[in-house]
Amino acid sequence: MALREICVLPNPVLTRRTQKVTTFDASLPKLVEDMIETMRDAHGVGLAANQIGVSIMLCVIEIPEEEEVRVLVNPELVSQEGERKLIEGCLSVPGYQGQVLRANKVKVRYQDLQGRKQRITAEGNLLAQALEHEIGHLNGQAYLQHLVAKDAIWRLEDDPPPQYAEDMDDEPLEDEDGAEVEEASAIEAKD
């Protein structure tokens, strides 16, 4: 395993769509090991391959309360439902965070390290947010494209502007029909 340098904006590798993985060989698990080590060292929740300069559709996600690291090859957002405001940061935009709009529920299809097709659904939790965030990277977008307003970003050491200072956890989560969502969940399935 090796620590890799994390690319920061405006590095062009972060603004271009990544390439689909077509070869599932021994180099892929090695890259994943490096990505996990780099993500953990930077205290991140997720890391996309292009954030370490490798322009392929691959990301890793590790939710703090969970024991597993999710590895998603060729992930694709299949559907997004509802909307919620969240505070978000990014390893490729160090020293800043902002208020973004994210879906409440996401469905993703991807492949595992052996190339088997998988699906995951996440709702109202950090996993849903991380899936959208990392897949955004693989599509050449940073969280900055999802800010609720141009001024909805601030330095980590500063207090957020007053209009963004409210506690995001107090806002009710709603699905696409406007019904309040009570529980957070994740569902995984194999195709």
Residues with catalytic roles = 134
CA–CA distance, 68 with 21 (Å, rounded to integer): 22
Number of separate helices (H) and strands (E) present in the chain? 2, 9
Q: In what order do the strands lie in the sheet with 96-102?
A: 84-89, 96-102, 153-155
Q: Residue 160 has which token pair?
A: 């957020």
Query: What SS3 state is found at 7?
Result: coil
Q: Residue 3 has which token pair?
A: 């620590």
Does 10 sit behind a cis peptide bond, omega within 30 degrees of 0 on the bond before it? yes
Q: Residue 87 has which token pair?
A: 């505070």
Chain-centre distance for alpha carbon 97: 14
